[in-house]
Structure 1
Amino acid sequence: MLACARIGAAFTVLPMPLPVEALAERVDDFRPKVLFTQDGAWRHGTIIPAKARADEALTAGHGVEHTVVVRRTGLDVAWYEGDRWLHDLVAQARPGAPAPEAPPADLPADCPVYAVNLANRRGRPVAVVHSAAPTLAVAVATHRHAFSPGGVFWLAGDISWLAAQVHGVFGPLAWGDTAVMFEGTLDVPSHHRLWDLVQRYGVATLMTTPSVLARVRGWSDAPPPAPARGALRRVIAISEPLDPGLRAWVESWVPSSGAAGIGDGWGQIELGGVVTVDRPADPDRMPDAGLVVVDEAGAAVPDGTAGELVLRRPWAGMLRAVEGAGAPDTNHHWQRPSVYSTGDRAVRRPDARLEFLGRIDAVINLSGQLVSLSEVRDVLLEHPFVADAEVVIRADAGAGRALIACVVPSAGTAPDAALAGELTDAVRDTLGGLARPRGVLFVERFGEELSAETRRRALTAVAGAVGAMGLTGPHPVTALWSHVLAAAGAGA
């Protein structure tokens, strides 16, 4: 990332868990000249054959001229024309020979520096492009004024996540702070891994998602030890709503005075990262994007009334361009004159705090990756034993939020655990593990009495009432349409 930015080569970081088909689609969309990978990668204690998956994704031919491979695990890999070992490319010069100097490229401020994929729009890829100087401006301003008063900084998240790139690498390094980078997952080799790293490196600020914090809270065998609590001064939760119970749990072991405590941040990929934090480290210097909640006509609504969040002031991290076949679908950001429409629903509370209620469109952020509910639904509808389907979001004690597939089986099909497994596996194989529903709610039928939005709200309520065993156990529950109608009436 840093080397590409230094020479003016635009880059994109692809998520490791992507299925080969999705990986090939993104490579085809970005059209890189060079692909960096490694022989294998450690995940959950096992080796993922990263080079083999990259080779399979490139079989259709996407214009990649060279694949640069990092020797990481010692896994045997196939070798093709254009493949290069990284250690051969960066081998040191002969003893006594002068080291080559390569000054940074002289580039315009708006030179593209990286691209990030959004959730697909109606099956078509969309990528947001950001430029060099605005990216650095946002990284610098938010790191010191929103997140960290200084010290060791760790963003616990996948490097393919925009926040991990901008706020986990660029921001800390631009200020001269130490940034922690970690390979693997926080539950391997044990649930103590997070606290071991916080204590070992003296992490002062930890940034991650509420889903990760909720998972850590559920590890009763690994409570925060005193040495880790003594080092940690700030916890920043971003990308998903932070519920009051989870905030209270974090506040029980993080000091909450001055520039310490927990902060709840909001931002967007289109805006280059985090835009606001409810408890910024330096509120007097944190840039103000002019966040206002408006109704459909664009008029500001009073406190306590839900609406769409807009930006009324310029923001340095605004996207440079939108590329990909689905790009025309993103024009809703500029549907109102002189403001940027976020597509997020929010409400401003009497204490001036913004509470984010989710997306207006059917997109959800799970552990830093955008997942399109309509894309998940389309995969479910492709199954021959599915007559209709809907996808809803359900609160999950272990993961924060979870996708639930609400499925109407086709006539004569048994709504059993085998079918549920086939459906969730199909989503995982097509869209990746994060898009895989955590449970399936079979429904007798979908009637015509409810609008699509009311039906989704009612199905969400029914899924919440059924409980985890009815959605994931060996005997899935089948809800009657009358149950859905009753839930719609109760929520009216």
Structure 2
Amino acid sequence: MEGLIRWRSMVTVAIDLAMPEDFNWAYDVIDRWADDPQKLGMHWVGPTGEERLVTFAEFRARSHRLANELEAMGLQRGDRVLLMLPRVVAWWESILGLMKMGGVPMPATVLLTPKDSIYRINIAEARAVITDTDGAAKIQAIRDQCPTLEHLIVVGSPVEGTTGFEDLISAGASERARMPTPGTDPALIYFTSGTVGNAKMVLHTHASYPIGHRITGTYWLDLKPDDLHWNLSDTGWAKAAWSSLFGPWNMGAALFIHDGRGKYNAHETLELLQRYPITSFCAAPTIYRLLVQEDLKAFTFSSLRSCVSAGEPLNPEVIDVWREATGLTVRDGYGQTESVLLCGNPPGQPIRPGSMGKPLPGIDLAIIDDENEPLPPGKEGDLAVRVRPERPVGLFKEYWRNPNGTAACHRGDWYVTGDRAYVDNDGYYWFVGRSDDVIISAGYRIGPFEVESALIEHPAVAEAAVVAKPDAARGSIVKAYVVLVSSAQPSEELQHELQEFVKTNTAPYKYPREIEFVRDLPKTISGKIRRIELRARAEQEVQ
């Protein structure tokens, strides 16, 4: 508690996280920002460079129109709607319109396979899908396998058997009375990124999740009403809710949205940061690792004042390179699809590179043992959030329609995140790995993140993933899958060099006894490394 008190003393703004009995974020936050008809809500840049400035007033009017027409189509409060769109303005309009009429949006990436789409539509019994022309063709091909699906709404040119999104907007009335909304009603369903097994439905409610993201917007993103914030997340990932929706718009900041298509281009990102008055930037660790491979000193970011990262821990060496080139320190943060930001590095708090930071106000975080007791500093255990006697604002309600899954992640008074970590003497939290990612070799417990961080300090390494490979003598050995930078070539000499490099940069017993060079690493749709695939590959090698 002492560490938390010291941290709070550096925070200059206090926020009220009380949850009202009746709350609807689309009406109670967005429509209030829209009272200023000139207030900018979004600066959108399209795939070919076209631009659009969208005010909050326009979002209010168009989401009213959409809500009215969705009701006219027969959709009702509580109906689930799969939302599968790229970074187009209609994604935000759809979220707001659905919230206003009580529908439950289920954001999904445009990269879903037919199997993924069928699974999501059927398990949630979705009545509608909102997508673009490309997505509509994919949904049409599986429509006969989705018995509850009644409406296919298309942004862009509608095809036969679908409804045009703009047709709905044009037909709808721009005025709408506020719908009474119990704060405990379902507001949003996200599917977990699925590093193992089928994705679970994470149910968030109207009051808890949007209000909880005031923690994200205030203490981590540090946004003000005159900021222009750019988050690179895909719209299908919960990070979009954090940093492209609730977090920034709670604070009244405008969003910068680049609807880039095709393969990610790090050079283009740097050009956009230089060209536009972006003040705040948020990206996954994977993105920062690619950005620091560019010639950063060739760019000047005159407006940029804040940089954050989340999704997986950001390696200290990447933070150092970015700071040296830009003068800005990337502030890491930690949370899940199931939560708002739980732990982070707010402005003013001394940063320890590689640490997740400290718990945010309102979050009782701890490292617990198998008996659900908090562990002392330096001891590795399960990272958990206290949920009794009172569940914190911002934490999910349940894994919907999966009571066993909900029960499995709760132990005693705690919600157990599934991550392993430890806390140091000063209250900083340090990520070790997912519970099933931790490697036990010859009795030693080895967290993959520390080994991966050591590997990518080497100038020849672009990315690395570390897993356990079964071994008769040691139980398991550390095996590394390494992606090299374009200027490096695989060789036995480089393998040995990397092994010696890790030995000198972390504990010698942690070095990878096997290294395999690969073109790329398997990842989830949200960019997280799928170590489960790599573990399976390593296990097959010894069968």
Same fold (TM over 0.5): yes
Distance in 1 (alpha carbons) for counterparts of 2:349 and 2:127: 42
Contact 1:205 1:235 in 2 (8 A): yes
Q: Which residue number corresponds to residue 245 of structure 2?
A: 169
Q: Which residue number corresponds to residue 79 of structure 1?
A: 160
- How does 1:283-294 map onto structure 2 within 5 Å? 286-294=360-368
TM-score (norm: length of structure 1): 0.67
Contact 2:109 2:234 in 1 (8 A): yes
CA deviations 1:84-107 (Å, max 9, x no partner) are 0112111268xxxxx541123110
Distance in 1 (alpha carbons) for counterparts of 2:406 and 2:430: 24
Instruction: From 128, 133, 140, give the equivalent of 1:55.
Output: 140
Percent identity for Structure 1 against Structure 2: 20
CA deviations 1:428-473 (Å, max 9, x no partner) are xxxxxxxxxxxxxxxxxx666665xx35x4577797742426999x
Distance in 1 (alpha carbons) for counterparts of 2:279 and 2:513: 37
- How does 1:333-348 map onto structure 2 within 5 Å? 333-335=409-411, 337-348=412-423
Q: Which residue number corresponds to residue 487 of structure 1?
A: none
Q: Tell me, what secondary structure is at the counterpart of 1:341?
A: strand
Deviation, 1:134, is 0.9
Q: Which residue number corresponds to residue 104 of structure 1?
A: 178
Matched, 1:318 2:414: no
Distance in 2 (alpha carbons) for counterparts of 1:138 and 1:128: 15
Contact 2:210 2:246 in 1 (8 A): yes
Q: Tell me, what secondary structure is at the counterpart of 1:164?
A: helix
> Runs of 4+ in structure 1 displaced over 6 angstroms?
281-285, 403-406, 459-464
- How does 1:274-313 map onto structure 2 within 5 Å? 274-280=341-347, 286-312=360-386
Distance in 2 (alpha carbons) for counterparts of 1:107 and 1:184: 36
Deviation, 1:254, is 3.9
Q: Tell me, what secondary structure is at the counterpart of 2:279?
A: strand
Contact 1:278 1:353 in 2 (8 A): no
Deviation, 1:349, is 2.7
- Structure 1 residues 177 and 125 mapped into 2: Cα distance closer, same or farther (>3 Å)? closer
CA deviations 1:92-140 (Å, max 9, x no partner) are 68xxxxx541123110011111111124597444211000111121222
Counterpart AA for 2:300: P
Deviation, 1:201, is 3.1
Matched, 1:269 2:337: yes
Q: Which residue number corresponds to residue 373 of structure 1?
A: none
Contact 1:146 1:282 in 2 (8 A): no
Distance in 2 (alpha carbons) for counterparts of 1:214 and 1:466: 20
- For structure 1, the residue ranges without an aligned partner over 5 or more in a row are 40-48, 94-98, 364-391, 407-445, 473-478, 485-492
Q: Which residue number corresponds to residue 78 of structure 2?
A: none
Deviation, 1:194, is 1.1
Deviation, 1:297, is 2.2
Matched, 1:215 2:290: yes
- For structure 2, the residue ranges without an aligned partner over 5 or more in a row are 1-94, 351-357, 439-447, 482-509, 522-536
Q: Which residue number corresponds to residue 184 of structure 1?
A: 260
Counterpart AA for 1:53: K
Q: Tell me, what secondary structure is at the counterpart of 1:231?
A: coil
Instruction: From 14, 25, 48, give the equivalent of 2:119.
Output: 25
Contact 2:188 2:204 in 1 (8 A): yes
Q: Tell me, what secondary structure is at the counterpart of 2:334?
A: strand
Distance in 2 (alpha carbons) for counterparts of 1:356 and 1:268: 13
Distance in 2 (alpha carbons) for counterparts of 1:103 and 1:8: 13
Contact 1:37 1:70 in 2 (8 A): yes
Contact 1:211 1:401 in 2 (8 A): no
- Structure 1 residues 143 and 186 mapped into 2: Cα distance closer, same or farther (>3 Å)? farther
Q: Which residue number corresponds to residue 322 of structure 2?
A: 250
Q: Which residue number corresponds to residue 531 of structure 2?
A: none
Instruction: From 157, 168, 173, give the equivalent of 1:89.
Output: 168
Distance in 1 (alpha carbons) for counterparts of 2:392 and 2:376: 24
Contact 1:145 1:285 in 2 (8 A): no
Distance in 1 (alpha carbons) for counterparts of 2:141 and 2:179: 34
Calculate the aligned-residue CA RMSD, in Å.
Answer: 3.6
Contact 1:233 1:254 in 2 (8 A): no
